[in-house]
Structure 1
Amino acid sequence: MCTPTPHNGAKKGDIAKTVLMSGDPLRAKYIAEKYFEDVVQYNTIRGMYGYTGRYKGVRVSVQGHGMGIPSIGIYTYELYNFYDVKNIIRIGSAGALDENLKIGDIVVGIGASTNSNYGKQYKLEGTLSHIASYSILKELTSTADDLNIQLNVGNILSEDVFYGDLDTLRNWARMGILAVEMEAAGLYMNAAAAGKNALCMVTISDCPFTGEAASAEFRQTKFNDMMKIALETAIKLK
């Protein structure tokens, strides 16, 4: 397919090989303005802002992907298959399912369980395990150690429903699921199908079982530890 696409106004070469992605396009805008030099905005279509700039001299892109697997499915498919992107790191928010997690804690999804039917398109006679790329995970955990930032690494849940049933979430928690979000499994499936790399890292923004929740402004701008880890990892990736 030719570029630009119906969802992305970028031309070939406008987007870096490594892209940081967030559900909220304003978080992408915040990262570009706070951390990048020589910033160029390559997308405004549907308000899904995308930017390319330099972080410590290395070319990196950041873009919004919207909410849910269908939305991230479109944007990441195009990035991998039409724009030659190699690595995508999702930097998002999540609800804590593990009782030991608190608002502001960082979780890395080495695996992403899901109740979505997105995987049906692959016509597999079984259940696909949706996992992160080790090449990114290795660099990211090393980066977090260097920055002295604690990570919680494990399985997360990619839900299709934002206002989900709490008893259902408790069942997932009993199986060792750390946190719930809405996109990682679709990202991991698209990466696997394209032969590319992906990882989802989230900051806990709410606790469904207690009702505690961070503000919208906190979600947009206060995830700086997660952003720093992602940026420092991005400049190490090939």
Structure 2
Amino acid sequence: MFPTPTPHISAKPGDFGKTVLMPGDPLRSRFIAENFLENPVLVNNVRGVQGYTGTYKGVKVSVMASGMGMPAIGIYSHELFNGYGVENIIRVGSAGAIQEHIHLYDLVIAQGACTDSNFAAQFHLPGTFAPIASWELLKQAVKAAEENGAVYHVGNVNSSDVFYGDHALVPEGLDSLYGLKKMGVMALEMEAAALYMNAARYGKRALCICTISDHILTGEETTSQQRQNSFTTMMKVALDTAVAMENK
């Protein structure tokens, strides 16, 4: 086990539940805690990365922000998996759609995560590695999405190391987006691949559920306030998944 407190988490052993929901935004972490958890307790606030633990439908559940990008979620997932005995991390974030049939506020449940990142190099693997979600988490999330009446899509996302990609500035930069689109990739985000790799490395489970906050090809988008406070269907699906996984 990694010694606790860790360099980036001040919580004590036992402060986190078996499952941690992980939004990128610390304010979304607080929103989930205040609006969905019973008796939430702040267990981490190092660097303003808020982590809370409470109960949901009688089950101990935690929520903690990851910040943006694969290096950040790589750090926090490593410390949660290895320092605090967390078994399941469910990323709850936003993503940009690149398929016409996917719309604002739809859910994308990432069965796999393509990436342009070099995150996997640390594992000294031959060839390439395919980061995939936990089947158990994926199965329970699809069930929860059905029960919550969500519009959802299951498939590949692309986890990118860049937000302001060159495609925004030059027409030929769009080639990479259309390449991903023709391969059926649903949406772009920035964390899932690293989370899935860490889960694979440490024998844990991970899943990424995102709400579509903007459409890369049409220009449709939500506001920052909407991204922080209105993605409640995704939150319910993730929390119901956490409850279903408590005894697995």
Q: Give the TM-score normalised by structure 1.
A: 0.98
- Other-structure match for 1:48: 49
Q: Deviations over 1:134-168 (max 9, x none)?
A: 01011111111222222100000000010122332
Structure 1 distance, partners of 2:145, 2:211, is 14
CA deviations 1:208-232 (Å, max 9, x no partner) are 1122211000110110110011111
Which is further off, 148-157 or 178-187? 148-157
Secondary structure in structure 2 of the residue aligned to 1:27: helix
CA distance in 2, matches of 1:85, 1:115: 27
1:218 aligns with 2:226: yes
| Identity level (%) | 53
Distance 1:52 1:192 in 2: 25
Q: Name the residue aligned to 2:143.
A: 142
Q: Is the 8 A contact 2:96 2:213 kept in 1?
A: yes
Q: Structure 2 matches for 1:161-200, cutoff 5 A? A: 161-164=162-165, 165=167, 166-200=174-208
Equivalent of residue 233 in structure 1, options 221, 235, 241: 241
Structure 2 gaps, min length 5: 168-173
Encode CA deviations 1:64-83: one digit per residue, 9 max, x unaligned: 00000000000000000110
How far, CA to CA, are the matches of 1:98 and 1:189 in structure 2?
25
Q: CA deviation at 1:2?
A: 1.9
Q: What CA distance in whole angstroms lies between the structure 2 residues aligned with 1:101 and 1:117?
A: 28
Q: TM-score, normalised by structure 2?
A: 0.94
* Cα shift at 1:169: 1.3
Render the CA deviation track for 1:108-134: whole Å, top value 9, x for unaligned: 000000000000011111111000000
Q: Does the 8 Å CA contact 2:36/2:56 hold for their aligned counterparts?
A: yes
Instruction: Report the counterpart of residue 72 of structure 2 in structure 1.
Output: 71
Aligned to 2:28: 27
Q: Distance in 1 between matches of 2:236 and 2:132?
A: 23
Aligned residues: 238
Which of 192, 199, 205 pairs up with 2:213? 205
Give per-residue Cα distances to partners, 1:15-65, cap 9 Å, x unaligned.
111000001011010000001112110011111100000111110000000
Q: Gaps (5+ residues) in structure 1? A: none
